[in-house]
Chains A and B, each alone.
Chain A
Amino acid sequence: MTGPVLPLVAVALVVVATIGIGVYGLRLARTTSDFLVASRTVSPLWNASAISGEYLSAASFLGVAGLVMAYGADALWYPVGFVAGYFVLLLFVAAPLRRSGAYTVPDFAEVRLGSRGLRRLCALAVVAIGLLYLVPQLHGAGLALRATTGAPVQVGAVLVAVVVTVNVAGGGMRSATFVQAFQYWLKLTALAVPAVFLLLAWQGDGRPALDTPTPPTFLQRTTVEVDSSTRFVVDEPVTVTVDGRQRRLEEGSTAVPGGSPVVFPAGAAVPHVASLAPATGLDWSRPLSGAGGVEHPLYATYALVLATFLGTMGLPHVLVRFYTNPDGRAARRTTLGVLALLGAFYLLPAVYGALGRLYVPELLLTGRTDAVVLSLPVAALSGPAGPLLQALLVAGAFAAFLSTSSGLLVTTAGVLAQDLLPAGRGDRAPGRVRGSVRGFQLAALGTGGVSLLVALPAAALPLTQVVGLAFAVAASTFCPLLVLGIWWRGLTVAGAGAGLLVGGGLSTLAVAATLTGSVGSDGWPAALLAQPAAWTVPTAFAVMVAGSLATRGTVPPDVGRTMMLLHAPEGLGLPAGSGPPGHADRSSPETTARRRQRAVRRTAP
């Protein structure tokens, strides 16, 4: 471990930059009375950057590499799914959702089905997904600080929770697009630059092979700090040094008493933590090999694909960003931009995961594979480059924690304040919109506090797996609601409500069972619960369709109008359209030409 100064400086810089851009960015960018200011909406590229910035969380920045390192090729489905979800969003949801004018999924439920009860139900699901997504972010912050500075896990979680909650409740995210866009480019840089150096170092080491027929070995004499509670499995007897004394580790499960550092000789096979089966390089590099001890890899892969492909559209903090698009067309273009930006980003974690097997295999022993991204530079690079790049990665990781947590907190607290907190005085009339400044602040403090309380007792699961569960819940609730709501006239309030309850209930139970570890880790039940999407999503769809067919008589009478609103392109002048206003009476060719001319003139000093 290097001195904690550099990583701490990096964390401080990112925190200051995030708050600073949030507070002053608007001021700097817009202190002008220029005519054109008001007409300049957020461009699709900026918006795509912002969505990507908010989306790339601890799970993407740290977790994916860790999973690739532990589970091999199958884990690549995580990044693939995280991106491909946007493709599904683009095809089925982006433009109609924007045209509906909804800001959150509860809003969409109200537009489409006109039911306050269903709205509440959706709000509840938003809060559940938000919390489930928020907790691993805080947990990731703890891991990152521990891996780089040795601080207790709780420190990082508290730091991020406090910064984000205070910033959000204090109104620091009043114009989040630029902050979030900045975070994307910061994260991309932070992951790409060290990756280049690491690949060069790998070249310099003569490109050691990854698909070896043996499990990973220590490249050099390695000191590993194992806390006394970690049990690991030794496959080949090996002689190690503990406290300066030689000691032989026999085959089988063992633990090091007292948590003393253990020194492994070069070339020794790496023992694996009890929950992770060792895999040969060959198995690791092949799909569906069950590397890392995954049972039923084919089922797990399909379930994961379903969860990530269909869950993205249900993530509350992603959907609210689409509201910034001026119309449905811009929403599509933004999604396309997101696909490109995320596609570029997700090339990188796999590099870290693969090189991690070579340079920091001891993480397989301690089970802390989520730290692989942060541990690699120091282990693989000599000289000052290692700590410097590590500091850059820490900065990127904190950008990930801060941006995703802020987005989640803003959305979750907003929905909580508007739909679930008790209404204020004289504010109960139907159709009225609730939510006050104080309510939002209380909700933000509450959400931040609760997520911190849940995050503090450290969860044993990898970050990305917990996030994957959030995707599964989103896919089992909002995906059927959005897809059927947009593409099927027959959806009814009762059907949608039943589908949400069944899908949400089943997936939440599966998540609870997995997180509490109450079903063990063997056999079909565990596999079904660890990746619930494959059965909860079809069930939710089926219940929603069946429930709607059973209550066919209650299809909202104005469904035709709503459908036209969702699907008719803007600017056709259709009565239900919500396109840019005044298309009919604005911008004669003459005025447009004049605007251009003026735009040119004004930019010249």
Chain B
Amino acid sequence: MCGLTKKRTTPRLAERPRSRKYGLNKEKRSKRIMPEKKIRVLIAKPGLDGHDRGAKVIARALRDAGMEVIYTGLRQTPEMIASAALQEDVDVIGLSILSGAHNTICPQLMHLLREKGMTDVIVLVGGIIPEADIPALKKAGIAEIFLPGTSTQEIVDFIHKRVSHA
């Protein structure tokens, strides 16, 4: 599936049978939904930066790889991202950060996700991230950091591995 417009192939949130409460493990959730449930990914662009080339390319590549992708658009606060992730019932959040604000944004988002009980959501970061900052981001709960030059296939593979094994 590819194309420019956001096409939904799974039912909208309201139509979908799903557990009311978050925090059930993936196995239980996937049984209750449908066997061929697509991986749901929220691509988010936090902070004031407007450079959205990477976010858009990743959104499209994940969609082409068969995932359900929701793109938040620009200038999302951690609160907005956490709420969108909860509302859209996603398996993965992908953050695109190029502005150097990652050390502020990532811990805030992880804290909010924990508060909302969304500990099973995998959070990925892509962008311009100095190597020295990576250990602290991983410690804060970021599953992986993808640097410039990463192929989209690498990211697809990582998500498949982590979500199906969760």
Are A and B a genuine interacting pair, yes or no? no
Interface, chain B (partner A; CB < 8 A): none
Interface, chain A (partner B; CB < 8 A): none
